[in-house]
Amino acid sequence: MSQGATIKDVAQKARVSEATVSLVLNNKASIREETRQRVLKAIQQLNYHPRHVARGLASRKSGNIGFILTDDHFSRAEPFYTKIFLGTEFESRKYQYYILLTTIPRAFHIETDLPRFLRDRNVDGVLLAGHVPTALSEHVLQLKMPHVFIDFSPRHKQGNVVMMDNLLGATLAVRHLIDLGHHRIAFIGGDITHPSIAKRLEGYQQALLEAQLPIADELIESAESDTAPEDGLRATEKLLSRRAPFTALFAANDAMAIGAMQCLQKHGKQIPAKVSIVGFDDIEAGAHTQPPLTTIRVDKEELGAVALRRLMEMIETKKELPGKVFTPVELVVRQSTAPPAGATNGKLVSAISTGKYNIDQG
């Protein structure tokens, strides 16, 4: 266990004090270049690596970040949060920080399910990904521990949130349909109480307004309670039963879009010949549907990386970073969208990127 050189060995070898080695290590004070080189050389020769725990104790920091999400989010088939985590973990390497990933049950009880690292004070800050229980987020606030919410915005709190740009994404999706020549564009979305879904509906409406197209209630179906393929299927079924014609459909996410495709195909409506479809999220399954799904791509790794950077900044400056950050989204055009039957002037559109991070749009 105790194998490996310590700072003491380095100090001796370089004929300086331990303090100097520490200063070089953390390039704190200005050190004469010559001594710096001597220390660096000793470090290399001894293959010295600072012990993370020792550093933690002395600096009164743990050097760890907690990453919390509910177990169902994590073990879901679509590796959405997994990729966010990956982005976080990768970014954390630049800061010499470690990520402690833990899941909490969906039915969260604060007495039994509170992540240990919160009690142990074994993290300097936490990342909360996806929908987390209010009891937990309130506890974190109360601890006054630096934190960032990812892809979720708790009701009782503004700020410290990193999300994908739902509003812009939805707008891009619907604009794409409009550009193709569609006028009657339907929307399906479940769990409309979820802030992300609500924003996507808002984007849909906004794009229609922009184009001076009417917002027709009979083309909006958002009563389902979840956003799985089955919900998409049911929502589309309802839409069809209203007999209000539409040539395109924007689904609040790819999962629902896939359900919608099944429903439409069952009814003999070819995609995109009869109905164009756009989804949201760019999940893997969407690339393998027949036809492949046009969608809005979200950079999950970037979401995780941005959140970590903000958190590190908060930890270093000991200040809250006000505002939400929205990470870019982009339109990915595949084969599920085309000009409506009989259209004359559908513009040709290719993948559109979206500029940079927008702050505080929400």
Partner DNA sequence: TTGAAAGCGCTAACAC
Partner DNA sequence: GTGTTAGCGCTTTCAA
Q: For its own copies, give the closer residue by CB, 32 or 49.
A: 49
List the one residue from 9, 25, 56, 139 that touches its own copies (CB under 8 A): 56
Question: 281: which DSSP letter?
Answer: B
Shortest distance (Å) from residue 94 CB to DNA: 16
Tell me if 60 contacts its own copies by CB under 8 A: yes
Tell me which of its own copies, DNA, none is bound by residue 226, counting a contact when its beta carbon lies within the kind-specific cut-off of 5 to 8 angstroms.
Answer: none
Q: Label residue 252 exposed, middle or buried (CB < 10 Å: 0-12, 13-18, 19+).
A: buried
Long-range contacts of 45-48 (CB under 8 A, 24+ apart): 45/13, 46/5, 46/9, 46/10, 46/13, 47/4, 47/5, 48/4, 48/5, 48/6, 48/7, 48/9, 48/10
- Binding segment (CB under 8 A) for its own copies, from list 119-127, 239-247, 257-265, 274-282: 119-127
What is the rounded distance in angstroms from the CA atom of residue 157 to the CA atom of residue 98?
Answer: 27
With binding defined as CB under 7 A, does residue 8 bind DNA?
yes
- Amino acid letter, 110: I
CA–CA gap between residue 192 and residue 223 (Å, rounded): 7
What's the rounded Cα separation, in Å, for the pair 313 and 160? 11
Mask 60-99, x = binds DNA (CB under 7 A)?
x---------------------------------------
Exactly one of 26, 37, 120, 290 binds its own copies (CB under 8 A); that residue is 120
**Closest CB to DNA among residues 42, 69:** 42
Q: Does 12 bind DNA (CB under 7 A)?
A: no
Among 210, 218, 226, 284, binds its own copies (CB under 8 A): 284
Least distance in angstroms from the C-beta of 89 to its own copies: 6
Give yes or no for residue 116 binding DNA (CB under 7 A): no
* Residue 16 region by backbone torsions, left for phi larger than 0, else alpha for psi between -120 and 50, else beta: beta
Interacting residues with DNA (CB under 7 A): 2, 6-8, 15-23, 25-26, 28-32, 34-36, 48-51, 54-55, 57-60
